[in-house]
Amino acid sequence: MQVDYIIVGLGLAGLAFAEELLQNQKSFIVFENDSQRSSLVAAGVYNPIVLKRFNAVWNVQEQLKIALPFYKTLEKKLHNKYDQKIDIHRIFASVEEQNNWFAASDKPVLSDYMHPKIIKNSNRAINAPFGFGRLSRTGRIDTNKLLSDYRKYLSDKGIVKKEEFEHDQIQFENDIINYKGTKATKIVFCEGFGLKKNPYFKDLPMEEAKGELLTIHAPKLKLDVIMKASIFIQPLENDLYKIGATFNWDDKTSKPTEGAKKELLDKLDAIINVDYKVVDHVAGIRPTTRDRRPLVGLHKKHTQLAILNGLGTRGVILAPSMAKSLYKCLEHQKQLSKEISIGRF
């Protein structure tokens, strides 16, 4: 078999690059072993504001200009709904936070999303004596549903191999790569935390952060917005809510823990005062970096090998634009931005 590309990994990064290849009539095959679950357990929220410090996410306007049409195209292509438009309410803990919100809401970029008005709490199920700040033009991508549909779409085309990729089986034959009889001009690694087992890119400074999420059933909560404080409360359907998320820089397993569950429930109990039941608990490893920028680029020696990784907590915003940048680099020799290029290390 001969193809233009081999893609390793089919989380959001792999999906975005696969779609870029399809849009440009390039042939490819994907190797996916379901070992990396960060995209599947992600909250999927696209929010242009860092709500801890009330400042804009890096380069967010350009990223959203690419990301939102990207997901709309996939909805039409796969005949399903993934993008849920939903406001975010930031719970204020003090008058000082209210004042900081007012000051930030006048700034360029931020003023497009932040409303300069305090919303009084009228929901008895929520503890918010200082009220909320409202963010609009935000939403969530149902990453679990999207990835499931897209994997089936590629599988139906016969271009997904559900097996572990063996890096030591790569053979370099002039300008061609031979991997177990499959020949390609390029391999793009979208392995998430699996980067640590990749001998060609394992020395890049990825800082993996384990995240755990709960799903609760709370019929009396009655939320139609995402609540954000020390944790987020994200409404789903049928009185279900996603609660998250934890950050653990030491545990590199994808196994849910009782300690994280207790941490989330303690914070949840400080915010809501209605009965609920925990119905699910999941964990995954976020592939992030010390400077909170993606890992995109080519191997210094083996330029047939490329990487698209390190999307962290904002994968739904970053993946489409990073895939487009990498494709232009590989096919048109367009230089990558220093902020995302692995050449910065």
Between strands 277-289 and 295-298, the pairing is unpaired
Of the candidates 289, 309, 328, which is a domain's last residue? 289
* Distances from the Cα of 134 to the Cα of 95, 227, 282, angstroms: 16, 10, 28
Of the candidates 95, 112, 137, which is a domain's last residue? 137
Say how many C-beta atoms besides its own lie within 10 A of residue 9's C-beta: 27
DSSP string, 163-199: S---GGGEEEETTEEEETTEEEEEEEE--GGGGGG-T
Does some domain include residue 78? no
Does some domain include residue 72? no
- Of 35-44, 83-92, 151-160, 307-316, the one with minimum mean pLDDT is 35-44
Note whether 126 and 262 are same-domain residues. no
Mean pLDDT of the chain: 95
315-332 vs 60-78: helix crossing angle, rounded to 10: 90
Note whether 151 and 191 are same-domain residues. yes
Query: Residue 276 is part of a domain; what is its CATH number?
Result: 3.30.9.10
Residue pair 38/11 in contact by the 8 Å Cβ criterion: yes
Burial, 99: exposed, middle or buried (Cβ in 10 Å; 0-12, 13-18, 19+)?
exposed
Note whether 295 and 196 are same-domain residues. yes
Residue pair 128/92 in contact by the 8 Å Cβ criterion: yes
Domain count for the chain, please give it. 3
Note the pLDDT tens digit of each residue in 285-339. 999 998 889 999 999 999 999 999 999 889 999 999 999 999 999 999 999 999 9
Alpha-carbon span 183 to 176, nearest angstrom: 7
Note whether 279 and 298 are same-domain residues. no
Residue pair 250/260 in contact by the 8 Å Cβ criterion: no
Of the candidates 137, 155, 171, which is a domain's last residue? 137
Residue pair 32/213 in contact by the 8 Å Cβ criterion: no
- Residue 253 tokens, joined: 């397993």
Note whether 283 and 306 are same-domain residues. no
DSSP string, 324-344: HHHHHHHHH-PPPPTTTBGGG
Note whether 223 and 282 are same-domain residues. yes
What's residue 14's pLDDT? Answer: 97
Note whether 258 and 191 are same-domain residues. no
Burial, 233: exposed, middle or buried (Cβ in 10 Å; 0-12, 13-18, 19+)?
buried
Note whether 108 and 256 are same-domain residues. no
Note whether 223 and 275 are same-domain residues. yes
Note whether 94 and 215 are same-domain residues. no
Does some domain include residue 123? yes
SS3 226: strand
Radius of gyration of the chain (CA): 21
> Which contiguous run of DSSP H or E holds residue 78?
helix 60-78
Note the pLDDT tens digit of each residue in 33-65. 877 667 767 789 999 999 988 999 999 999 999
Note whether 235 and 192 are same-domain residues. no
Note whether 183 and 322 are same-domain residues. yes
Domain coverage including residue 124? 87-137
Note the pLDDT tens digit of each residue in 1-14. 999 999 999 999 99
